[in-house]
């Protein structure tokens, strides 16, 4: 039985979005089966201006038929959505369906779309839980939406979500319409306790939406995704991407699982052809059985190297604790000064010298809440990790004068 909720879509979403009549094209009504003469969208009927007519893998690099690029892509992407749902379905009695899905240009489009759907510029607010992904605040600022910050637990070093503190904020300020939660966190690398998320979802009076960003979820233990839970919660949005575990950052495809009512609003307000035909084709290949096998093997190899870093990095002089968790393809680690104290100044020097003198680029995170002296290190290949460990040792010795 679905839990009770104070969420009311009709009063939570912006009035103009609820009344929005989405852009429609003739192919909403007449889907092309290959036999139609398409004279509805002002396309070039002679095809794309490319130096081949019948590309094959040797010419085009991938087995995709570029001769169809003169046609606009399918605005609904039902087949691709079905593959996404099949990949995440865990509940046979309440399966995810294409009606639960919004597809956009990376997760960033989903972040922005949810903001535009629910937040009135200059009036409403969002809540974030630093340290966290910076695009939530950037998108809020672009949309003239104030950001309220309720930090993760900064004392333990594990960066756990604080649902009681979040709920207190939501009770005090009904203009907070969205809560953005990153799981696994960026830069914290740990998954959020599902019960903590459910505690916020169960707020008895708040009329708003919880957005869980799961960009790195495929590096976490099996079954960590909250995507299947959207069928039970009318105000839960779970964002995912093909940029990380699938290694397809270049095709810019993000997905948001949610209740059909919210998915419909998000799809109504997006540009009709934002997901290109080439992006769709590559995504479907990645979500095919063969593509998933490649993804699984690459994730396995990355996790081996992650374990290697966890084992070998602490042996270097000047390395402190790993903060956060171990559920992503990166790690958050402290850099120590000569007094064995985490030091952001030292971390910044290590970051700069590692890049400028050795060509090894990590990410400085010492300026974020709870991350004093921290670098965020992405897990690379076996050769890349070997070079990282060697050059980081040299850099630490140089910066610390050893």
Could you report how far apart the first and last alpha carbons of the chain are, in Å? 63
Do residues 210 and 201 touch, judged by C-beta distance below 8 A?
yes
253, 287, 321 - which closes a domain: 287
Q: Are residues 283 and 300 in the same domain?
A: no
Question: Exposed, middle or buried by CB within 10 Å (0-12, 13-18, 19+), for 212?
Answer: buried
Residue 195 has a CB neighbour count (10 Å cut-off) of 9
The mean pLDDT of the chain is 89
> Which region among 60-74, 136-150, 223-237 has the lowest average model confidence (pLDDT)?
60-74
Q: Residues 206, 174: contact at Cβ < 8 Å?
A: yes
Label the pairing between strands 101-104 and 176-182. Answer: unpaired
Segments in 313-343 forming alpha helices (H):
none
Burial grade of 356 (CB within 10 A; 0-12, 13-18, 19 or more): exposed
**Any domain includes 303:** yes
Task: Tell me if 234 is assigned to some domain.
Answer: yes
Domain count, the chain: 2
Give me the pLDDT at residue 58, please. 43
* 334 shares a domain with 273: no
Q: How far is CA 224 from CA 142, 192, 255, 257, 377, in A?
A: 32, 9, 17, 15, 22
Of the given ranges (42-51, 154-163, 256-265, 392-401), which has the lowest mean pLDDT?
42-51
Q: Does 394 lie in the same domain as 377?
A: yes
Closest CA to 162 of 148, 147, 151: 151
Alpha-carbon torsion, ordered 121, 123, 128, 132, to 10 deg: 30
Burial 113-131 (b: 16+ CB within 10 A, else e): bbbbbbbeeeebbbbbbbb
Contact of 213 with 107, CB cutoff 8 Å: yes
6: confidence class by pLDDT, cuts 50, 70, 90: confident
**In the listed set 228, 253, 287, which residue is the last one of a domain according to the structure?**
287
Domain containing residue 109: CATH number:
3.40.640.10
Lowest mean pLDDT, pick from 44-58, 64-78, 149-163, 207-221: 44-58
In what side-by-side order are the strands of the sheet with 330-335? 319-323, 330-335, 374-378, 363-364
Q: What is the predicted pLDDT for the residue at 59?
A: 42
Q: What is the pLDDT of residue 32?
A: 59
Mark 253-270 as b/e (b = at least 16 C-beta within 10 Å).
bbbbbbbeebbebbbbbb
Residues 252 and 395 in one domain: no
Question: Is the predicted pLDDT of residue 3 greater than 80, yes or no?
Answer: no
Asked whether residue 219 carries a pLDDT value surpassing 60, the answer given is yes
- Same domain flag for 134 and 197: yes
The answer to whether residues 278 and 347 belong to one domain is no
Q: Give 262-295 pLDDT, tens digit per residue.
A: 999 999 999 888 999 999 998 998 999 989 998 9
Region 13-17: what's the mean pLDDT? Answer: 80
Burial of 401 (0-12, 13-18, 19+ CB in 10 A): exposed
Does the pLDDT value for residue 71 go beyond 90? no
Q: Are 85 and 224 in contact (CB under 8 A)?
A: no
Quick one: pLDDT at residue 53? 44
One domain, residues 199 and 101: yes
Average pLDDT over residues 87-103: 93
Decide which of 287, 310, 326 is a domain's last residue: 287
Nearest in space to 178 (alpha carbons), one of 105, 239, 102: 239
Cα–Cα dist 343/335, whole Å? 6
Residues 367, 343: Cα–Cα separation, whole Å = 11
Whole-model pTM: value is 0.88
- The rounded distance, in Å, linking the Cα atoms of 314 and 394 is 14
Q: Which residue has the tokens 């052809």?
A: 273
Average pLDDT value for residue range 347-372? 93
Q: Locate 97 and state its tokens.
A: 């369906």
Report pLDDT for 14: 81
The CATH number of residue 368's host domain is 3.90.1150.10
Residue 45 counted as domain residue: no
How large a percentage of the chain has pLDDT more than 90?
69
In a shared domain, residues 353 and 204: no
Domain membership of residue 64 (yes or no) is: no
- Alpha carbon 218 to its chain's center: 11
Q: How many CB atoms lie within 10 A of CB 155?
A: 9
Q: What is the spatial distance between Cα 273 and Cα 259, in angstroms, rounded to a whole number?
A: 22
d(CA 210, CA 256): 12
Predicted local confidence at residue 393, as pLDDT: 96
Query: What pLDDT score does 75 carry?
Result: 87
In this prediction, residue 1 carries a pLDDT of 56
pLDDT at 43: 57
pLDDT mean over 83-110: 93
Does 250 score more than 60 pLDDT? yes
Has residue 46 been placed in a domain? Answer: no
Confirm whether 377 is domain-assigned.
yes
233 and 344 housed in the same domain:
no
pLDDT band with cut points at 50, 70 and 90 for residue 55: very low
Domain that holds residue 13: 9-25+72-287
pLDDT band at 196 (very low <50, low <70, confident <90, very high): very high
pLDDT at 39 exceeding the cut of 80: no
pLDDT at 45 over 80: no
For 85, the enclosing helix (H) or strand (E) is: helix 78-88
Phi and psi at residue 285, to the nearest 5°: -65, -40
Which tens digits make up the pLDDT trace of 19-36?
867 655 555 655 556 666
- Kindly state whether residues 245 and 318 are assigned to the same domain: no
State whether the Cα torsion 384-389-393-399 is positive or negative. positive
Q: What is the pLDDT of residue 47?
A: 61
Establish if 49 belongs to a structural domain: no
User: Per residue in 292-344, pLDDT tens?
Assistant: 998 999 999 999 999 999 999 999 999 999 999 999 999 999 999 999 999 99
Buried b vs exposed e over 344-355: b needs ≥16 C-beta within 10 Å? bebbbbbbebbe
**Higher per-residue confidence, 41 vs 246:** 246
Answer whether residue 348 is part of any domain: yes
Model confidence at 54, pLDDT cuts 50, 70, 90, reads very low
pLDDT at 317: 93
Indicate if 211 and 302 belong to the same structural domain. no
Query: Could you give the CA distance from residue 191 to residue 216 in angstroms, rounded to a whole number?
Result: 9
Q: Are residues 110 and 255 in the same domain?
A: yes
Tell me whether residue 2 is exposed, middle or buried, using C-beta atoms within 10 angstroms of its C-beta: 0 to 12, 13 to 18, 19 or more: exposed
The encoded tokens of residue 223 equal 């079954």
pLDDT at 56: 46
* Rounded average pLDDT over 62-77: 77
């Amino acid at each position: 039985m679905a839990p009770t909720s104070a969420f009311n879509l009709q009063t939570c979403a912006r009035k103009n979005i609820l009344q929005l009549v989405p852009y429609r094209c003739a192919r909403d009504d007449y889907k092309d089966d290959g036999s139609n003469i398409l004279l509805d969208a002002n396309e070039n009927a002679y095809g794309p201006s490319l130096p081949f007519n019948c590309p094959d893998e040797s010419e085009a690099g991938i087995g995709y038929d570029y001769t169809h690029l003169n046609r606009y892509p399918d605005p609904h992407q039902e087949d691709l959505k079905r593959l996404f749902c099949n990949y995440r379905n865990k509940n046979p009695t309440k399966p995810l369906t294409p009606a639960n899905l919004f597809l956009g240009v990376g997760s960033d489009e989903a972040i922005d779309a949810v903001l535009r759907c629910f937040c009135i510029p200059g009036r409403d607010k969002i809540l974030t839980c630093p340290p966290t992904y910076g695009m939530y605040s950037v998108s809020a600022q672009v949309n003239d939406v104030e950001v309220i910050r309720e930090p993760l637990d900064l004392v333990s070093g594990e960066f756990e979500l604080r649902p009681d503190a979040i709920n207190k904020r939501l009770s005090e300020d009904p203009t907070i319409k969205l809560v953005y939660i990153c799981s696994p966190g960026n830069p914290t690398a740990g998954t959020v306790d599902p019960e903590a998320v459910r505690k916020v979802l169960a707020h008895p009076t708040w009329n708003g939406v919880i957005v869980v960003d799961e960009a790195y979820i495929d590096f976490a233990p099996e079954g960590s995704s909250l995507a299947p839970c959207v069928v039970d919660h009318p105000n839960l949005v779970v964002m995912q991407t093909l940029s990380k575990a699938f290694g397809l950052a270049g095709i810019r495809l993000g997905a948001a699982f949610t209740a059909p009512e919210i998915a419909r609003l998000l799809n109504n307000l997006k540009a009709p052809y934002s997901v290109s035909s080439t992006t769709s084709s590559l995504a479907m290949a990645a979500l095919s059985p063969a593509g998933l096998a490649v993804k699984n093997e690459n994730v396995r190899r990355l996790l081996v190297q992650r374990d290697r870093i966890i084992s070998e990095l602490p042996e270097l002089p000047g390395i402190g604790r790993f903060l956060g968790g171990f559920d992503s393809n990166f790690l958050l680690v402290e850099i120590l000064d000569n007094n064995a104290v985490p030091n952001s100044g030292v971390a910044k020097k290590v970051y700069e010298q590692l890049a400028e003198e050795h060509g090894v680029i990590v990410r400085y995170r010492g300026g974020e809440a709870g991350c004093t002296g921290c670098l965020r290190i992405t897990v690379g290949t076996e050769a890349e990790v070997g070079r990282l460990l060697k050059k980081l040792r040299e850099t630490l010795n140089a910066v610390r004068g050893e």
